[in-house]
Amino acid sequence: MTRRTYAQRCALAHALDVVGERWTLLLLRELLTGPRRYGELLANLPGMGTNLLAARLKDLAAAGLIDKDEGTYALTARGAALEPAVLALARWGAPMLAEADEDEHWSATWNVVALKYSFRPDRARRARGVLEYRVDGTRVQARGRDGEIETSLEPRGDADVVLEADGETLLAIAGGTLDPDDAEADGARRVDGERRLYRSSLRFFALG
């Protein structure tokens, strides 16, 4: 019953004592795109046992990273503060997505994370406006003001440009495999908005 801890006077060790166990960071990734119910979480974490999910949720609530409200789980401020770390890890792992693996699980909400970690503030700074991405049926809005990205799963208000692409096309653009100029021939298309903003917005996403 003794909870396993690294017992090191080190910030990284303390962080890993809280979020270093299996599934924990993936669970928090889910909540980074908005509140979720138990069933939704389970569906996006294939292979995780129901008991483990329940245990993790309880632990994270006790640690102050998440709150349970009327059956749905949401990040607290402390939990949301993990976003930079999660994105940094994901950015590091992004190159490993290059080789497609057919028997991997997949969820449209993963791409919201991809949008964030591949977003290049320096490139988007001058483009004011709301961009809306429709990826595999999921709508994501991003606005480039002040060089920061704000994504929201529940779009509020109209977007200045709406573009649509499947996840593979998006990842290929961000990964540098697909040139943005060729994206339109490869699955991305403009649904609404100015053509010029559409073209430039494809260049807002890249690694490195």
Partner DNA sequence: CCGGATCCGTAACGATACTG
Partner DNA sequence: CAGTATCGTTACGGATCCGG
Burial class (CB in 10 A: 0-12, 13-18, 19+), 187: middle
Residue 179 carries which side chain, given as an amino acid letter?
A: D
Subset of residues 155 to 184 that bind a copy of itself, contact rule: CB under 8 A: 167
Give the 3-state secondary structure of residue 65: coil
Subset of residues 48 to 87 that bind DNA, contact rule: CB under 7 A: 48-52, 54-55, 57-58, 68, 71
In the complex, the smallest distance separating the C-beta of residue 34 from a copy of itself, rounded to whole angstroms, is 16
Q: Of 163, 122, 167, 164, nearest to 144 (Cα)?
A: 122
Which of the ranges 7-15, 66-74, 125-133, 153-161 carries the binding residues for a copy of itself, by CB under 8 A? 7-15
Residue 158 carries which side chain, given as an amino acid letter?
A: D
Subset of residues 86 to 105 that bind a copy of itself, contact rule: CB under 8 A: 86-94, 96-97, 100-101, 103-105
In the complex, the smallest distance separating the C-beta of residue 74 from DNA, rounded to whole angstroms, is 13
Burial class (CB in 10 A: 0-12, 13-18, 19+), 73: buried
Q: Provide CB contacts within 8 A for 45, sequence distance 6+.
A: 23, 26, 27, 30, 53
Which of the ranges 20-28, 35-43, 133-141, 178-186 carries the binding residues for a copy of itself, by CB under 8 A? 20-28
In the complex, the smallest distance separating the C-beta of residue 156 from a copy of itself, rounded to whole angstroms, is 26
Residues that bind DNA (CB under 7 A): 1-4, 21-23, 37-40, 47-52, 54-55, 57-58, 68, 71
